[in-house]
Amino acid sequence: MLAAAIALCLIVAVGDGDSLSMRCGGQPVQRVRIASIDAPELRQAWGRQAREHLAALCLRQRAEVQALGRDKYQRTLAQVRCRGRDAALEQANAGLAWMHPSQVRAWPRVAAAAARARRDRRGLWSQKRPLAPWKYRQRHPNAGGV
């Protein structure tokens, strides 16, 4: 997938609340991480709900995918639109994903949605002390993230 180009891809699997497997044209299936958000790990509180919410939006749907680069696991980072809706924005709005502080300026709409979800105590923000996924992975190195 070319960076900055928008591809129409079929979502064939949802790994967790921020990663998808997709087939674009005749290319092999590839794993993509949604840019700007970090959803709870599957074993973490709200992890399964985050995956289910993303699956309801994207699974077996044609998605517009704009590749933006690669993460440290060499997955493609991308902006993903399913059913015409920004997947990151939908996850953040539902309170099912964190925004890493370093991403706030680059993604103001997603940041605003995440802030509203937190204020309204939606999803993971209903917990007394939610744990950021990056902190969870530090404490549980074999918990996911790839």
Q: What pLDDT is attached to residue 2? A: 46
Helical residues (DSSP H) of the chain, grouped into ranges = 47-58, 87-93, 108-119, 133-139
123: region left, alpha or beta (phi > 0 left; psi from -120 to 50 alpha)? left
The per-residue pLDDT for 100 is 81
Give the Cβ contact number of residue 54 at 10 Å. Answer: 30
34 phi and psi angles, rounded to 5 deg: -70, 125
Domain extents in the chain: 6-138
Provide the CATH topology of domain 6-138.
OB fold (Dihydrolipoamide Acetyltransferase, E2P) (2.40.50)
Please report the pLDDT score of residue 66 as a whole number: 96
Instruction: State how far the Cα of 125 lies from the Cα of 40, in Å rounded to an integer.
Output: 12
**Mean pLDDT of the residues in the chain:** 93
pLDDT digits (tens, 9 = 90+) for 43-91: 999 999 999 999 999 999 999 999 999 988 888 999 999 999 999 999 9
Question: What is residue 98's predicted lDDT score, i.e. its pLDDT?
Answer: 96
Q: For residue 9, what are the CA distances in angstroms to 20, 81, 113?
A: 11, 10, 26
CA distance 87 to 54: 7
Q: CB atoms < 10 A from the CB of 42, how many?
A: 15
Q: How far apart are the first and last CA of the chain?
A: 19
Cβ–Cβ < 8 Å for 122, 114: no
| Residue 30: its H or E element | strand 30-34
